[in-house]
Amino acid sequence: MLSPVGSIRGGKTDSRLVALTYDDGPDPVGTPAVLEALASLGLKATFFQLAYRAERHPELVRAVLDEGHEIALHGVDHTRLTSLPRGEVRGLLENGRERLSKVAGRDVRMFRPPYGAQSPATYAATRRAGLMPVVWGPTVRDWVDGEAPEVAARGLDGLHPGSIMLMHDGFEVPPGDTTPEPTFDRGDVTRELVAELRARDYEPVSVSELITHAKPWRSAWFRN
């Protein structure tokens, strides 16, 4: 029986490393903007993608990979897994992993639950689907609008060596939700954030780079 403990929340290190991660893509506007910003900064990141969006925009999946970034699963869609019958979760995750891996042309191993919603049962289903849950620490909260410098500054709250930073290259809301999409340029948010990180001597990396150079920090992460 798998223990319901062990989502990757960061890396244990004194080195000033921070992993940059992006959720909810690929998106025809946000993803190219983020890729352009990362290329200009010479950085690699991790993109947690929705399988249905990847199938709609395979050219963006290829662009992410061609730039040397890594791809991970964020779900078939943005359904909150803790809202589903227990028996459906593993099959849904296996389906999402298979579909995203097919588009990417490589196996996908990491997973971030939509909304960060995870229970002991969905954690166990995730591991049985061959996926490792990866969550986060600081976030720019870029589902809330604002000027790019203001949004980027939110990511400094709780920042520490080995952090995993949550950002988005897409905007996904539940059916019927009328929340307006933020108006800032997601590439500009990346540039502003990286400038702040570098001013504090942090080196932005991907999740795989982080846990290669730092011992993964795994702990329980359960929320509805």
Angle, helices 89-104 vs 120-128, to 10°: value is 40
Read off the tokens for 51.
């399988």
| Contact yes or no for 108/73 (Cβ under 8 A) | yes
Handedness of CA 176, 178, 182, 183 (dihedral sign): positive
Q: Catalytic site residue 23?
A: yes
Query: Which position among 27, 57, 168, 169 bears the catalytic label?
Result: 168
Cβ-based neighbour number of residue 115 at 10 Å: 17
Query: Which position among 14, 23, 77, 169 bears the catalytic label?
Result: 23
Q: Catalytic site residue 213?
A: no
Torsion of CA 177, 180, 186, 192, to 10 degrees: -120
Active site residues: 23, 168
